Structure 1
Amino acid sequence: MKRTTEFAPYPLVPEPRYWRWFAGAVGLLALLGIGRALPPSLVAPHLFAFTVGGMLLAGILAFLFHVLYFRFNRHNAQCYGEAVEREQRAWWAQHRQKAALVESVLLSASCSSPEDLDGLLDPSKQPPVARETGEGFALRLLQVFGRDAKQREQELATLLALKWGVQRGTDQRLTPSSCYWHGSQAAWRAFVEQMAQCCPDVHLPEYPQTWDGILSLDAIIDQLQRVPDGARVLCAGCQSSSPDRASSLPAGEAAVLWLLGAEGDVAFSRGEWFSQADDDLATVAQRAVKQSLLEAPAQICLSFSQPDVPGLATIGWNAKTNVQDANFGALNQLEAMVVQTLAAWYVKQHGVPCAWLASDPHFILTLGIVRPHESGS
């Protein structure tokens, strides 16, 4: 995702000081008049007139050159400004492109359908209870029985396929133009095998592309601008984090699936990323709001806590009200997909924008706003 180019201002030359040029011309004319009044014994009239006239002509030419140089400079500055404006408009037009969420699935210890969203946003509702595993506390799905993370992720992939198969039915043909997967190849094979059983009309590749966080979402949005309207991109993943007694959060696990297209009820923006070395967090947050064509941040922000990012409370995103740590535990690189899915469900239920904020495989923080999809937006 390319940042907008910062253009330096065009160097402007100062405007000619017309009164100085006028005063100089008047002085030369006065000098010429004085020379004419002097007797020929003091000054040669023709030589004096030729000299002063030459000075006057040279001054006029210098004045015209200065004015033309000034006008050309201003013309070039105007052309430069218009070119910069066109470049910035083109950048923003591309930066505001979206992907529509056509279908989604989210499975975790606290959530298995959009109807569970209200409970996740209700502070009075108790989150799921973390279980002691011998290695630390963990939030686990009761339907998953594997002992290690690899086995559990394969079972999560199978559950994800079963859930999606129930949502889709058995008579809908689908061959995604691209497939992205977060997790192991073994978990992907389990997902593909289960889909082949429950939805044989869904054709998936043997090897998917690796889900790479916000960079993959950016590439998918680019891809959807060049494919037919009916094209679909599948993004899915499973995460079963290992318990860690040194962590303040229980280990979490979840499975997520998106089917993205050009048209749908809910739109994902490209989002923004924050790097402490290069960016100002408030500027990044403002750019995310501008990207979504909003005047102010969305009132609801779904997030995971980001203890390594100071200043979140100052950006006006209400980022600490609906933190999902207690509901999902530590999900590492799957955080963003989870909160984006929750934000999409909120948008579909309420018809208003919803912000999200999470970590990323490459950046310390990513954030964005999910909006109701508008055709052509």
Structure 2
Amino acid sequence: MNRPPQYRDYVEPGEPKWRRWWLALLLLWGAQSGLLLTLWPEGRPRLELWLYSAVLPLSWGLVLSIRALVWRIGLMNWDAYRQTIQVAEQRWWRKRARTLPVHELLLLGPVGDVQAQYRNLMEGAQLPEPELPANADVPLLRCQLSRGIPGARVPLLARHLARLALALPERAERWPSLCGLAWVGEASGEAAFVAALEAGGLSLPAARFTLRTLKDLDALIDALPKVCPGETDGLLCAGVVSREQADEGEVPGEAGFLWVVGRKDSLRLHRGEYLLPENGETAGELCSQMQRYVGLAKAPEDCLALDAGSQDAFVEGGWTVGQHQLAEYWGALGELAPFVGMSLAALQAEQSGEPCGWMGKDDAGRLAMGVVVSNGG
């Protein structure tokens, strides 16, 4: 995960021991006075004696003033350093709390392309059955609408996702002015998706953005004000995947998603984070950091997981999914899993008005988590 910046300690200057300074004055002044009285010649004016005896306290006062000045300067430097660190830390937390505003979204998976099935954390969706194609070694979860259609799966899914986008009601009136495309998945899928949009009368600008990991999502969130400078500007984020292999105990799946990103929209996708135990990170620490991004005192009431591993890993931090472990509906999605998780959480947040957490793992096996909120809640 992205840890908050760590800065070196600046030791607070200790207050001078004033009592010791006064005791030292009394002792030295007494010793000086006794020595002067003992050695003072007879007949010399006493006034001159007292003038000599005043040299020590005056010098002592000067040294004490310098010592107090050094202490005060040290305190001011310490306070300035502390305030600078606080500003830097607050700036870091504000940056990490930035979100990706989503205007509209679509999902495509083994349960079909009816968006109502993906709401309410898929409680009403029918569980899909894995199939065993003739050329496959293991059962696969496949999108029902494209079963049996010959050709490469990824371009087929991409074209269908594009047709779903073109069929959205009042698309021309509601969508922002698109400034580019951020694609997750194979280049063949991107080409098929763009070609299908163009065939339907929607031409995308040439600008393309990488969106394969949570780090890429971070970069996109930070670049959004420059990518979409106008209030009516937006961005299209989409991707599809069709897996042929998966880890032991998992079923290869396939899916697609689409986000229409605007500048000021109600659904806000917070930055996700990876859990990296090899770097000494714990699930509790990551969950607390994620909650701070969103401003939550405790874990979101609604959470979902796209695999059993992530469900078990984040229990330590208080993030529980209950019955909303959705691996049987999607299968193993690889690099697309975090983005499908965000999409499902966004639909739930839109419906309930409350934050919704998501958990999953990418194609590298890294456990990931995040939160989606609705400004209308």
TM over 0.5: yes
SS of the residue aligned with 1:268?
strand
Closer/same/farther in 2, CA of residues 25 and 207 from structure 1, 3 Å limit: closer
- Which residue does the alignment assign to 1:270? 271
- Which residue does the alignment assign to 2:222? 222
Closer/same/farther in 2, CA of residues 142 and 277 from structure 1, 3 Å limit: same
Task: Give the drift of 1:36.
Answer: 4.9
Q: For 2:127, give the aligned amino acid.
A: P
CA distance in 1, matches of 2:365, 2:231: 31
* Number of residue pairs matched by the alignment: 369
Percent identical residues:
22
CA distance in 2, matches of 1:119, 1:98: 22
- Which residue does the alignment assign to 2:167? 166
Task: Give the drift of 1:119.
Answer: 6.9
CA distance in 1, matches of 2:176, 2:263: 15
Structure 1: runs of 5 or more not aligned: none
CA offset digits 1:244-293 (Å, max 9, x no partner):
5x621111000111111111221111233322233333222111111111
- Which residue does the alignment assign to 1:13? 13
TM-score when normalising by structure 2: 0.87
- Which residue does the alignment assign to 2:142? 140
- Which residue does the alignment assign to 2:357? 355
Task: Give the drift of 1:304.
Answer: 1.9
CA distance in 2, matches of 1:70, 1:335: 57
CA distance in 1, matches of 2:114, 2:6: 44
CA distance in 2, matches of 1:207, 1:228: 16
- Which residue does the alignment assign to 2:34? 34
- Which residue does the alignment assign to 2:190? 188
Task: Give the drift of 1:142.
Answer: 2.1
CA offset digits 1:134-174 (Å, max 9, x no partner):
410111112214689x7011110111011111115574576
CA distance in 2, matches of 1:9, 1:363: 37
Computed over aligned residues only, the root mean square deviation of the Cα atoms, in angstroms, reads: 3.1
Closer/same/farther in 2, CA of residues 2 and 285 from structure 1, 3 Å limit: closer
Q: How does 1:33-52 map to 2 (within 5 A)?
A: 33-38=33-38, 40=40
- Which residue does the alignment assign to 1:90? 91
Residue 293 of structure 2 corresponds to residue 291 of structure 1:
yes
Residue 71 of structure 2 corresponds to residue 70 of structure 1:
yes
For the 8 Å contact 2:342–2:358, the answer to whether it is kept is yes
Closer/same/farther in 2, CA of residues 113 and 101 from structure 1, 3 Å limit: farther
Structure 2: runs of 5 or more not aligned: none
Q: How does 1:286-365 map to 2 (within 5 A)?
A: 286-305=288-307, 307=309, 311-319=313-321, 321-360=323-362, 364-365=366-367
Task: Give the drift of 1:115.
Answer: 1.5
For the 8 Å contact 1:132–1:138, the answer to whether it is kept is yes
Q: For 1:81, give the aligned amino acid.
A: R
For the 8 Å contact 1:105–1:113, the answer to whether it is kept is no
CA distance in 1, matches of 2:49, 2:311: 79
For the 8 Å contact 2:109–2:254, the answer to whether it is kept is yes
- Which residue does the alignment assign to 1:106? 107
CA distance in 2, matches of 1:136, 1:41: 114
Structure 1 window deviating more from structure 2 (289-298 vs 270-279): it is: 270-279
Structure 1 window deviating more from structure 2 (310-319 vs 346-355): it is: 310-319
SS of the residue aligned with 1:229?
coil
For the 8 Å contact 1:120–1:327, the answer to whether it is kept is no
Structure 1 runs (4+) deviating above 6 angstroms are: 44-52
SS of the residue aligned with 1:236?
strand
- Which residue does the alignment assign to 1:232? 234
Q: For 2:168, give the aligned amino acid.
A: Q
CA distance in 2, matches of 1:95, 1:230: 24
Closer/same/farther in 2, CA of residues 41 and 265 from structure 1, 3 Å limit: closer
CA distance in 1, matches of 2:198, 2:119: 33
Closer/same/farther in 2, CA of residues 131 and 250 from structure 1, 3 Å limit: same
SS of the residue aligned with 2:10?
coil
